[in-house]
Amino acid sequence: MVSTDGLTALWDRLFSAQPDPPPLLVLVTAAVALLVVSARMPWRIARNAVTIAHEGGHALAALFTGRRLHGIRLHSDTSGLTLSAGRPSGPGMILTLFAGYVAPSLVGLAGAWLLGGNRITLLLWVAVALLLAMLVLVRNVFGVLSLLVTGGVVLAVSWYASPQVQAAFAWTCVWFLLFGGVRPVAELQRLRSRGRLPESDADQLARLTPFPPLLWVTLFALVNLVALVAGAALLAGPILADAGLTG
């Protein structure tokens, strides 16, 4: 059995606030994340994390609206598929379709809120818990491997890395989700304009509502840009404090 002292130590480790990161760390991690999102090869590799969040958003929205979730598939080309059963139209289906493209940015915003309170360990452990929960829903080998590798890296950093490395890793990941949530929306519209994504989330939403696909793409972009600005404001707290601009 786990002793009371052990549980108390675990609780303190999980919920205690770490010191403010150096302002330089905040800037460097933002630059690294932006470089990964902007550069072709790093983006092709790291985009798997965005796909995980995208499909997780579909899955969570499906469960929240009472749909029956059949499973998630993650593919090596960074595409994914979430299958759910229920009414083929109506608010539940609309919310499920809408959630995918905004999920990475909203997850990034939630992460920025935790980092704004310096809850670095809590952020990492919540990420591991969400990846494990998603693991039981995945129905293909690549998806299982992708989640195991991602979760393993996050767990290893949270358990073995120094506080400085944990901070750098956490800030980079959250910046990446905030930046990385914007790029797929631009890619979506570019592919749609070439007729290459006739079954995109935006096109499916257009068939379920009176609104055209471009409106849904615009809404995806607006939500993600607002999340980016709000998340950046939260993450920039140490810089503002160092400049004496916060109370």
- For helices 183-193 and 163-180, give the axis angle rounded to 10 degrees: 30
The answer to whether residue 225 is domain-embedded is yes
The answer to whether residue 6 is domain-embedded is no
The answer to whether residue 165 is domain-embedded is yes
Q: What is the domain range of residue 72? A: 21-239
In the numeric block, the tokens 């009414």 are attached to 87
% the chain with pLDDT above 90: 79
The answer to whether residue 12 is domain-embedded is no
The answer to whether residue 179 is domain-embedded is yes
Cβ neighbour number for residue 135 with a 10 Å cutoff:
16
pLDDT, tens digit, 9 for 90 and up, residues 152-175 = 999 999 989 999 999 999 999 999
With cut-offs at 50, 70 and 90, classify the pLDDT of residue 19.
confident
The answer to whether residue 7 is domain-embedded is no
The answer to whether residue 9 is domain-embedded is no
pLDDT reported for residue 198: 87
Cβ neighbour number for residue 5 with a 10 Å cutoff:
8
pLDDT at residue 33 tops 90: yes
Distance of alpha carbon 177 from alpha carbon 106, whole angstroms: 8
Q: What is the arithmetic mean of pLDDT over 12-23?
A: 75
pLDDT, tens digit, 9 for 90 and up, residues 179-223 = 999 999 999 999 999 988 889 999 999 999 999 999 999 999 999
**Total domain count, the chain:** 1
pLDDT, tens digit, 9 for 90 and up, residues 40-90 = 999 999 999 999 999 999 999 999 999 999 999 999 999 999 999 999 899
- 213 within 8 A of 192, measured Cβ to Cβ: yes
The answer to whether residue 16 is domain-embedded is no
pLDDT, tens digit, 9 for 90 and up, residues 105-133 = 999 999 999 999 889 999 999 999 999 99
Q: What is the pTM (predicted TM-score) of this model?
A: 0.92
Distance of alpha carbon 101 from alpha carbon 97, whole angstroms: 9
